Amino acid sequence: MRLLTTLVCFLWSLGLSLAQIPEKPKLEITKLNENVFVHVTYGMYQNQAIPSNGLIVKTKEGVVLIDTGWDTKDDTDNTRQILQWVEDHLHQPVKLCIVTHSHEDRVGGISELKKAGVRVISTPLTAQKSVQEGYESPEAILPADTTFLIGQVPFRCYFPGEGHTSDNIVVWLPSYRILHGGCLIKSVAVFGMGNIADANLQEWSNSVRKLIRQFGSARFVIPGHDGWGDTKALEHTLHLVEKFNASRH
């Protein structure tokens, strides 16, 4: 009887612990305009489901993704959901994905994209670091500042300097005045620094100042995580970094 009671208590406690594990939300898509959408996928960080933002850009020659879904080497379901959404709603092939740095919330779904025949590009440093992290390598073709056209839509890929990582770039869509800041930029809804394991805290503020000078006319600024808005996110990020650095001295 004691053994049965112990077993019941164990199973009950196991069920309780499993129930406390947060369930990861599914893909969310938000329309910014007729041709640009934000894809939001979720990953687990410190036992919490955290949203991660990327872009879907429709052009006359097909779809361009900015960043993969937040995936891991063993689970690429988020990126699979993005590809399925594009097929179901935009009825175009995904031609290209630009990854903005080598963390799993940006490059984690690369194997899923390559399996689907999608070309994935990055800077040489991001490609190198992606391989070091155990991911397949994007094509290492992006210089520090370059603009190219896809389906008559210009994409500017720009490295303003180190910050969240040594390889973080941003993507500017001048036709729509949309800046994808990635994890270099913090949402105005966030008041912590998040993951700074690979950060250059000394250079981060200088890099953000460059973005403020270059892209002060942005209508939308999309941070790597949480809610997005206008250029207030740039000023907010600068304030957070400077405040954090001051607290360390």
Give the catalytic positions in this structure.
101, 103, 105, 164, 195
Strand arrangement, sheet containing 153-158: 145-150, 153-158, 170-173, 178-182, 220-223
CA–CA distance, 181 with 224 (Å, rounded to integer): 7
Strand arrangement, sheet containing 62-66: 28-31, 36-45, 48-59, 62-66, 94-98, 119-122, 139-140
Query: Do 234 and 221 touch, CB atoms closer than 8 A?
Result: yes
CA–CA distance, 29 with 25 (Å, rounded to integer): 12
User: Token pair of 152, please?
Assistant: 């008559």
Q: Determine the residue type at 15.
A: G
